Amino acid sequence: MKSLKTTCVHAGTIKDEKNGGVNSPIYTSTSYAYLDAEEAVYPRYYNIPNSEALGEKIAALEMAEKGMVFSSGMAAITSALLAFLEKGDHAIFQTGLYGGTFHFVSAELERFGIAYDIAADNNVETFEKLIRDNTKLVYIETPSNPLLKITDIAATAKLARKHGIISMIDNTFASPVNQTPLRQGIDVTIHSATKYLGGHSDICAGALACNEENFIRIRSMARSLGGSLNAQDVYLLERSIKTLVLRVEQQSANAGILAERLSGLEEILKVHYPGLPDHPEHETARAQMNGFGGMLSFELKNTDPVKFQRNLQLIRPTVSLGGLDTIICSPTMTSHRHLSTEDRIREGISDNLLRLSVGIEDVDDLWADLKQAI
Ligand SMILES: *Cc1c(COP(=O)(O)O)cnc(C)c1O
- Please say whether the beta carbons of 37 and 49 come within 8 A: no
Q: What is the pTM of this model?
A: 0.97
Q: In what order do the strands lie in the sheet with 327-329?
A: 268-272, 295-300, 353-357, 327-329, 316-317
Please name the residues in contact with 345: beta carbons below 8 A apart, sequence gap of 6 or more. none
pLDDT at 137 over 80: yes
Gyration radius of the chain's alpha carbons: 21
Rounded CA separation 25/279 (Å): 46
The predicted pLDDT at position 188 comes to 98
Residue nearest to atom 5 of ligand 1 (CA): 73
Residue nearest to atom 2 of ligand 1 (CA): 192
C-alpha of residue 231 to centroid of ligand 1, in Å: 21
Confirm whether 242 is a catalytic residue.
no
Among 57, 66, 149, 195, which one carries the catalytic annotation? 195
CATH architecture, range 245-373: Alpha-Beta Complex (3.90)
Is residue 198 within 6 Å of ligand 1 at its C-beta? Answer: no
The predicted pLDDT at position 342 comes to 85
The predicted pLDDT at position 1 comes to 57
Is residue 170 within 6 Å of ligand 1 at its C-beta? Answer: yes
CB neighbours of residue 32 within 10 Å: 15
- Please say whether the beta carbons of 27 and 49 come within 8 A: yes
**39-42-45 Cα angle (round to 5):** 80
Q: Is 4-241 assigned to CATH 3.40.640.10?
A: yes
Is residue 169 within 6 Å of ligand 1 at its C-beta? Answer: no
Atom of ligand 1 nearest to the CA of 173: 13
Is residue 199 within 6 Å of ligand 1 at its C-beta? Answer: no
Is residue 73 within 6 Å of ligand 1 at its C-beta? Answer: yes
Between 336 and 278, residue with greater pLDDT: 278
Rounded CA separation 293/290 (Å): 9
Confirm whether 286 is a catalytic residue.
no
Rounded CA separation 370/303 (Å): 12
Domain spans, the chain: 4-241, 245-373
Confirm whether 195 is a catalytic residue.
yes
- Tens-digit pLDDT profile for residues 288-316: 999 999 999 999 999 999 999 999 999 99
Q: What is the mean pLDDT of the chain?
A: 96
Is residue 72 within 6 Å of ligand 1 at its C-beta? Answer: yes
- Tens-digit pLDDT profile for residues 145-189: 999 999 999 999 999 999 999 999 999 999 999 999 999 999 999
pLDDT at 20 over 80: yes
- Tens-digit pLDDT profile for residues 22-81: 999 999 999 999 999 999 999 999 999 999 999 999 999 999 999 999 999 999 999 999
Is residue 311 within 6 Å of ligand 1 at its C-beta? Answer: no
Rounded CA separation 248/100 (Å): 24
Rounded CA separation 37/5 (Å): 34
Rounded CA separation 330/327 (Å): 11
Confirm whether 89 is a catalytic residue.
no
Rounded to an integer, the average pLDDT of 332-344 is 84
C-alpha of residue 73 to centroid of ligand 1, in Å: 5
C-alpha of residue 5 to centroid of ligand 1, in Å: 24
Is it true that the peptide bond before 277 is cis, omega within 30 degrees of 0?
Answer: no
C-alpha of residue 111 to centroid of ligand 1, in Å: 23
- Tens-digit pLDDT profile for residues 194-233: 999 999 999 999 999 999 999 999 999 999 999 999 999 9
The predicted pLDDT at position 348 comes to 87
